[in-house]
Structure formats: structure tokens, C-alpha cells
Amino acid sequence: YTSLAEADPEVNKIIEDETWRQFSGLELIASENLTSLAVMEANGSILTNKYSEGLPGARYYGGNEHIDILENLCRDRALKAFNLDPKIWGVNVQPYAGSTANFAAFTALIQPQDRIMGLGLPDGGHLTHGYYTAKKKITASSIYFQSFPYQVDTKTGLIDYDRLETNANLFKPRLVICGASAYPRDWDYARLRAIADAQGAYLMMDMAHISGLVAAAEQNSPFEVCDVVTTTTHKTLRGPRAGLIFFRKDKEADIEARINASVFPACQGGPHNNTIAGIAVALKQAADPAFKAYAKQVRANAAAMAAVLFKHGYRLQTDGTENHLVLWDLRPLGLTGSKVEKICDAAHITLNKNAVAGDKSAQVPGGVRIGASALTSRSMVEKDVEQVAEFLHRVVQISLTTQKEAGSKLLKDFVTAYESGNGEAPKLIAE
Ligand code: PLP
């Protein structure tokens, strides 16, 4: 075997450049994290060579004696990481991603054209929770199911549970979905359960963003009341890119068979065993006390960044955060999220534009989303991220200046400094 550098210098160079980007810049994308070397080693292992359609002990291919042990280990660790009784909860560890986990869960729980209610995309929900626009059904979750999203209150930014209840009484969903991609607060599971129960509906939590915090008991546990819990494995949980589906076995005798059959063969083919190995490693790490300390620090860091932005007089959705992310409403400044995202990019600060409460469109959003997970994985603590928040303040001040003097010299100089910097951090960061 030759090394990647010898076999394909072009791809090798791209990986080297991306490695430099990830470690020389400041990663604030709330859905990203920096996984461990051990997880990457497992993820890049020889396990990628093996086909293993089916489940441990019941495969469609031979030679799975080691893969069976791996998948069982991963399932055990997944239940342990969330403190779940294997008599009550089961888990499928094969989903390739959060999106496929969600669609497989829908496929198991409800029928085509059944009604679903999830948090709207402009309100912080995820595409796969039933997103569509006035012109088009965008995702499979709105193409194959009838979707009626719920919202956050435009004044407080908090989920409007009263309105959800009223609309659920009218719409009569078969499935209520909670969980979000951009919601800085915890969930009222008892209320959601009551709303779902009144309709005889399933309650599913997609805890993709907060699953690391849930594992560390830094957020309420959705497992108390939900029927199904899905998650990605690569956000606060800090594993490789994939998904998990947890299902409650004590209410419906056939739920395990339905979930498993929905993952394979309904929605997927052979499991990615290298990824399952990476998930198993990440789950072992998540059970370590060091991970609990990490999750606590993630929240403390998000709160510290929020406090600095607050001090500078900016508006934050829900006036702060109790998880890993901050949603910064830029509309009072007359700025768009896209502009701030671009200028941050020039300063090697990576974040993303995001809709804020009351935004009509997710395409031209009025805010940005800031996450603390990756910087915390780089061992940053409050004093470090406070400095990062000061950089963000300066980025916004630059954005405002250029707003007044369109295409001003300031922005041009700033971007030129970055482009000619040969990888050096631009002045804004170096100072
Ligand atoms: N669910 C939520 C809440 C998410 O935020 C995301 C991705 O950001 C997903 C699902 C989809 O995950 P994936 O990109 O792995 O399909």
C-alpha cells in the first residue's frame, strides 16, 4: 500500500489545507465539532471494506463475526451513554446520517400522507421535520407527509406551546416532533407529551444538536416521555458523521422490528461499519467524566459569549442561552446574517447565517448562529471565548461601517489582507 500523499497528492493537499483551516481559524458553527483522533482512526479503518446488511446474528453476508461484536458493543454503549434500561429502550446504530435516521423513524411510526408537526425551519427547526415553502415541498418529510409546522413566539423567541396546542387540536397530527437546529433553550417535554397524547400522536425528539449535553445531563432528558429519540453523532456528541434511533420497547410489541426494518431495507443498504466503530469509540468517550466536564464547559462558554454580546448591547434571541448555541439577531443593526457570515469568513471565523424569530424566509435571514462546541473541544474556557466574542463585536462594527459606505476601502483592505495572508491570520485576529 502507498500512502495517500504518494497515491493522490491532490486529495492529500486538500486534506492538509482543510486541516490547517480547521485549526488556524475559529470554528463557531453550532452543528460542528472536532472529533478525537481515536474516532477518526476507527472511522478511517479497514472496516469500510465489509458488507453486513441485516443485524447482528442475522446478516445477508458471511464473514460478519467481528462486525456483529462491534455493532452489539455500539448498541450497548449507546444505551449506557444515555443511562437507558435495555429492557425499555432499544437502539439502531446503522443510520448513515441524522436526516436518514429521521426519515427511517417516520417510516416506522406513520403512514405516507399522515400528518406531522415539527418546529418550522425559520423558527430553528430542521429541514427534515416537515419543511416546505409556499411554492414548493422541499424535503421528503413534506413530500411524503402532510406537514404543519409550529413556531416560536416572535417577541420572546421561545416556543409557543399554547399555539402549538391549539393548532394540534385542529390539525390532529399523528406525530409531533421536537428538537431543533437553532434553538438556544431546553424543551418542555411534559407539555409536548400532553399535546401529543391529546391527539393519540407519537412524540419524537430529534436531539441531534444537544445529544452530548443530554448524555452529560446538562439538558433535560427526552427519554422520560418520548416514544422515539433520534440524533446525529457528530455535533455535541463529538463522534463521526452518522445517526442513531432510540425507540421505546415497552409500549408497542413490534416497534423494534418496525424501526429496524425501516432503516434496512426500507431506507438504507449495508451499514457503514467503519462509522459504527467511530460511534462506539465516541460513546465510550462520552461516558468518561472528562466528557461531562466538557459538556458543562460548552454551556459555560456559550453563556460567556452571550454575556459579552449582551454587554455590547446586541439582541440575542431568547435573551441568552442554556445550551451550546447563541442566536444573534442582527436586524436591529440593519445587517443581514449573510453579510456578517462573509466578513467573519474573511477573518477566519466560521459561523453561519440563520433565521431569527419573525424572519419570513430562511434564505435571507436576519441573524447568525454561534456554537461553542468546537472551541471547547480545543480546550477554550470563558476567558478565551470572551475574546472571540469581542472579535465578533469588531466584525459587526466593520460590517456597519461598510454598510454606510458601500464597498468601502475598509472592507476591501480587510479581505485583501486575508487573501494575501498566505494562511496568516488577518490583522483583526492577530491584534
Ligand atoms: N436533525 C437536526 C436537528 C439537525 O440539526 C441536523 C443537521 O444539522 C440533522 C438532523 C441532519 O443531520 P445530517 O446532516 O447528519 O443528515
The whole-number average pLDDT for the span 22-26 is: 92
- Note the pLDDT of residue 358: 87
Looking up cell 474556557 gives: 381
Q: Is the pLDDT of residue 354 over 80?
A: yes
Q: What is the DSSP string of 360-427?
A: S-SSS-SEEEEE-HHHHHTT--HHHHHHHHHHHHHHHHHHHHHHHSTT-HHHHHHHHHHHTSTTPPPH
Could you give the ipTM of this predicted complex?
A: 0.99
The whole-number average pLDDT for the span 133-140 is: 91
CB of residue 242 inside a 6 A radius of ligand 1: no
Q: Is 253 exposed, middle or buried (0-12, 13-18, 19+ CB in 10 A)?
A: exposed
Q: Is the pLDDT of residue 428 over 50?
A: no
Q: Is the pLDDT of residue 168 over 90?
A: yes
Q: Is the pLDDT of residue 115 over 50?
A: yes
Threshold 0.90, pTM exceeds: yes
Q: What is the DSSP string of 342-354?
A: HHHHHTTEE-EEE
The whole-number average pLDDT for the span 179-183 is: 98
Cis ω for the linkage preceding 95 (within 30 of 0): no
Q: Is the pLDDT of residue 228 over 80?
A: yes
- Note the pLDDT of residue 410: 56
The whole-number average pLDDT for the span 360-383 is: 92
Average pLDDT, rounded, for the chain:
93
Q: Measured between alpha carbons, how far is 42 from 50 in angstroms, rounded to an integer?
A: 14
- Note the pLDDT of residue 262: 98
Question: Which three-class secondary structure state does DSSP give residue 15?
Answer: helix
Looking up cell 448513515 gives: 96
Q: Is the pLDDT of residue 360 over 90?
A: no
For the chain, report the end-to-end CA distance as a whole number of angstroms. 46
- Taking the centre of ligand 1 as the mean of its atom positions, its distance from the CA of residue 212, in whole angstroms, is 14
Give the pLDDT band (50/70/90) at residue 407: very low
- Note the pLDDT of residue 239: 98
- Note the pLDDT of residue 412: 60
Q: Is the pLDDT of residue 172 over 80?
A: yes
Task: Please indicate whether residue 418 or residue 122 has the higher confidence score (pLDDT).
Answer: 122
Q: What nine digits make up the cell of 260?
A: 429496524
The whole-number average pLDDT for the span 200-228 is: 98
Q: What nine digits make up the cell of 280?
A: 462506539
Give the pLDDT band (50/70/90) at residue 405: low
Q: Measured between alpha carbons, how far is 175 from 61 in angstroms, rounded to an integer?
A: 35
Q: What nine digits make up the cell of 285?
A: 468517550
- Taking the centre of ligand 1 as the mean of its atom positions, its distance from the CA of residue 231, in whole angstroms, is 8
Q: Measured between alpha carbons, how far is 59 from 140 in angstroms, rounded to an integer?
A: 29
Amino acid code (one letter) for 154: T
The whole-number average pLDDT for the span 264-286 is: 98
CB 255, CB 29: distance < 8 Å: no
CB of residue 212 inside a 6 A radius of ligand 1: no
The whole-number average pLDDT for the span 147-169 is: 97
Give the pLDDT band (50/70/90) at residue 420: low
CB of residue 105 inside a 6 A radius of ligand 1: no
Cα 27 vs. chain centroid, distance in angstroms?
A: 14
CB of residue 354 inside a 6 A radius of ligand 1: no
- Note the pLDDT of residue 1: 67
Burial letters 23-32, b for 16+ CB under 10 A, else e: eebbbbbbbb
The whole-number average pLDDT for the span 183-196 is: 98
> 10 Å Cβ neighbour count for 136?
8
Q: Measured between alpha carbons, how far is 51 from 272 in angstroms, rounded to an integer?
A: 8
Q: Give per-residue pLDDT as tens, 289-329.
A: 999 999 999 999 999 999 999 999 999 999 999 999 999 99
- Note the pLDDT of residue 409: 57
Q: Is 40 exposed, middle or buried (0-12, 13-18, 19+ CB in 10 A)?
A: middle
The whole-number average pLDDT for the span 387-411 is: 76
- Taking the centre of ligand 1 as the mean of its atom positions, its distance from the CA of residue 15, in whole angstroms, is 24
- Taking the centre of ligand 1 as the mean of its atom positions, its distance from the CA of residue 282, in whole angstroms, is 18
Q: What nine digits make up the cell of 342?
A: 462573509
Q: Which residues are catalytic?
A: 51, 53, 206, 232, 235, 241
